[in-house]
Chain A
């Protein structure tokens, strides 16, 4: 009995230590005691983030073989590699919370873990590669810059590294759009069409309005999330509208206008029905993306098994030598 009480005291003490650290703005490290809810929230968020990087390789990878110049191909390939690298850091960072990469992948395959909804849209033309880099990565950066100050140390450090590379991605996308907008009529049309299709899904990347967001409460208290969905969305719109104007692209929102009082743009109503439809699995590419990931994972099993068998043999030999 005494032992139990003592144990409880220690637990309470550790938890108070956690709360103090959060309060002071110190980072939480893997060996620190943390509430279960904090750990679960981070595993959910970080694995979703890692899966998004990896699934996001599919729509862009779809254009590597058709990239229209050697330079464009090189830049696109380097960018997609970065995304894969981000997936790796994030899987490793999430593993510090006591979950393995294999478990995270099986949660992705079972549907328990999600990835960013944006990748359920198809990359139809070369201009979509521009729009993905500029708008999708542009939206991701706004979110990731904010996450550089998130309370969990390994996540925050991964974000610092990732942000450095993401700004290059956004420039890559913008450059494609700018080139096309200064090109032939067919190129301009292609660029505007991509803008029209990617604008609204990009705004949806920030998630539901603050009043509707189910996870915001604890995440804010624990300083995992440092800015609200609507604040981040406004930041993205403000910087993107100007960039669009510079190269002559039209934002497909007739209600978009500057608001002097708020210091931000007002935007038209987001079609949340579409958002929930796509999130629940009825988007144009949900099925395709998941089937692709599952198929590749299954087809590669024999390679991973061989590597493991070889490693075991080598270790055994080393032991006996």
Chain B
């Protein structure tokens, strides 16, 4: 694997995570429990679309085949997407959306804190910008976790169920492969174990403060980074890519 190939994979994975998570959050538009939350969730979706554009554009440049961010978003098939599985799962109820946002955005906060020091100046710049956004996402998710965990018995039950159901998808966030190892060696990529440690501390603390229980260690789902997805991704793509696929010659 060349450095460029590794960098392509690395950027693509970050782009896909942002793209697919933004898709799910955008589904809350006109569906949220209160108008303020409708605006907040779609605002996060907007941040993530911007992030997807930045990483996919960079992936296209590194790849050197003249593919744009839109080409990568709209003309790749299921097996070529490398997002983590947790981002593609259906929204479920509001508690599930918040639990996912908590797990992912807290991970991203630590991840981009490290990545802003990358020796690759483009990655460092995107990371620095992203960090400002994900800090806000993580705060928002933490506040809702507290409200739901320590609100009513109904909300506590739902929030605990969401934490339990999504727990097995959290391990994949920290998985590394050959490309990650190569880039970390070149001070381009980040060192994952400390990020996992910080993440776990934060999640433990938040769940305890919200009167929620940390799930028992269980087996962890895997596959997304290799393009082995849940059945849900295909439905996302068939909807998202419909116009681009149906009218391949059209410009929008």
Residues of A within 8 A of B (CB): 54, 57-58, 61, 64-66, 68-74, 77-78, 80-81, 84-85, 87-88, 91, 126, 176, 179-180, 183-184, 186-187, 292, 296, 299-310, 313
In Å, the complex CA distance between A304 and B247 comes to 43
B213 at the interface (CB under 8 A from A): no
B242 to chain A: which residues have CB within 8 Å? 66
In Å, the complex CA distance between A172 and B23 comes to 21
Q: Is the CB of A66 within 8 A of B46?
A: no
In Å, the complex CA distance between A303 and B42 comes to 18
Q: Is the CB of B94 within 8 A of A69?
A: no
CB distance from A196 to the nearest CB of B (A): 20
B171 at the interface (CB under 8 A from A): no
CB distance from A75 to the nearest CB of B (A): 10
Known: A300-B34, A310-B147. 7 other contacts (CB 8 A): A54-B30, A70-B53, A73-B49, A74-B50, A77-B49, A78-B46, A176-B252
A184 to chain B: which residues have CB within 8 Å? 247, 249-250
Q: Is the CB of B247 within 8 A of A186?
A: yes
B74 to chain A: which residues have CB within 8 Å? 68-69
With A69-B74, A306-B148 as known contacts, state yes or no: A64 contacts B250, CB within 8 Å: no
In Å, the complex CA distance between A66 and B242 comes to 7
Q: Is the CB of B250 within 8 A of A183?
A: yes
In Å, the complex CA distance between A300 and B148 comes to 12
B45 to chain A: which residues have CB within 8 Å? 77
Partner of A64, one of B26, B70, B154: B26
B45-64: CB near A (< 8 Å → 1, else 0) gives: 11001101100100000000
With A66-B239, A81-B39, A302-B155 as known contacts, state yes or no: A307 contacts B252, CB within 8 Å: no
In Å, the complex CA distance between A231 and B33 comes to 40
Q: Is the CB of B151 within 8 A of A74?
A: no
Q: Is the CB of B70 within 8 A of A69?
A: yes
Q: Is the CB of B29 within 8 A of A80?
A: yes
21 CB contacts below 8 A, A to B, read: A64-B26, A65-B236, A69-B74, A69-B252, A70-B49, A73-B49, A74-B46, A77-B29, A77-B45, A88-B35, A179-B252, A296-B30, A296-B33, A299-B33, A301-B33, A302-B154, A302-B155, A303-B155, A305-B154, A306-B152, A307-B147
Q: Is the CB of B23 within 8 A of A296?
A: no
Interface residues on B, range: 35 or more
In Å, the complex CA distance between A73 and B56 comes to 15
In Å, the complex CA distance between A300 and B91 comes to 14
Q: Give residues of chain B (202-252) contacting chain A, Cβ–Cβ below 8 Å.
A: 236, 239-240, 242-244, 247, 249-252
In Å, the complex CA distance between A313 and B117 comes to 42
Q: Is the CB of A65 within 8 A of B247?
A: no
Q: How many inter-chain residue pairs (CB < 8 Å) link A and B?
A: 134
Q: Is the CB of B26 within 8 A of A305?
A: no
With A57-B29, A68-B74 as known contacts, state yes or no: A303 contacts B148, CB within 8 Å: yes
Residues of B within 8 A of A (CB): 19, 23, 26-27, 29-39, 42-43, 45-46, 49-50, 52-53, 56, 69-70, 73-74, 93-94, 146-148, 150-152, 154-155, 158, 236, 239-240, 242-244, 247, 249-252
B150 to chain A: which residues have CB within 8 Å? 310, 313
Closest 3 CB pairs of A and B: A300-B33, A306-B151, A306-B155
With A57-B29, A70-B52, A77-B42 as known contacts, state yes or no: A305 contacts B155, CB within 8 Å: yes
B46 to chain A: which residues have CB within 8 Å? 74, 77-78, 81
Give the nearest-CB partner of B32 in chain A.
Answer: A300
With A77-B42, A88-B36 as known contacts, state yes or no: A70 contacts B69, CB within 8 Å: yes
B19 to chain A: which residues have CB within 8 Å? 70
Q: Is the CB of A304 within 8 A of B49?
A: no
B43 to chain A: which residues have CB within 8 Å? 81
In Å, the complex CA distance between A88 and B36 comes to 8
In Å, the complex CA distance between A176 and B43 comes to 22
A302 to chain B: which residues have CB within 8 Å? 33, 152, 154-155, 158
Q: Is the CB of A187 within 8 A of B250?
A: yes
Q: Is the CB of B152 within 8 A of A70?
A: no
